[in-house]
Amino acid sequence: MTVFTHPDLQIIKIVININGKEPFEVPVKDADSIDVKIPGGVKYHMTLHFQVKNKKLEDIRYIQVVKKAGITIRTRELEIGTYEPSDETYSKDFPEDETPSGWLTRGNYNCASTYYTGQDELFKNDWNLEIVAK
């Protein structure tokens, strides 16, 4: 699985904060694949760390689709905003969410994160999510 990028938008990492546990980082920049493992039935929130290069990007949006056995389980959309090019790393917090609980929900999910400016797709990354026992 290839991790894609765009000349004007580089995703650096995702930090996952699970309530009551130490946050952990999921590297994206220069990664061969994106793999996330989260316990079932926990509240968490993610922080996206990224850089904008070359030109101003307006109305950046993020759409995440989570599938299990080819069936869409969840879709999330987040307005990231408008950013000027910079050597600085920007961050955007996602709203708190909760992983599904129960032994039936454990296992591997195929996910896709797509980044847009306005209606134009910049790039899409496929990644793996594993829901595990607490």
Digit-coded pLDDT (tens) for 13-48: 999 999 889 999 999 999 999 999 999 999 999 999
**Is 127 within a domain?**
yes
Q: How far apart are CA 40 and CA 18, in angstroms?
A: 11
* Average pLDDT for 54-78: 95
Could you list the beta-strand ranges (E) of 1-134.
Answer: 9-18, 24-27, 35-39, 43-52, 57-68, 71-83, 90-93, 97-98, 107-117, 120-132
Q: How far apart are CA 80 and CA 96, in angstroms?
A: 15
**Is 67 within a domain?**
yes
Q: Given this model, what pLDDT does residue 30 score? A: 92
CATH of the domain at 35: 2.70.50.30
- Residue-number span of the structural domain to which 68 is assigned: 9-132
**Is 1 within a domain?**
no
The DSSP letter of residue 105 is G
Q: Given this model, what pLDDT does residue 1 score? A: 65
**Is 25 within a domain?**
yes
Quick one: pLDDT band at residue 70, thresholds 50, 70, 90?
A: very high
The count of other CB atoms within 10 Å of the CB of residue 88 is: 10
Tokens of 47: 């922080």
8 Å CB contact between 50 and 11:
yes
> What are phi and psi for residue 95, nearest 5 degrees?
-65, 155
Q: Based on the structure, what is the number of domains in the chain?
A: 1
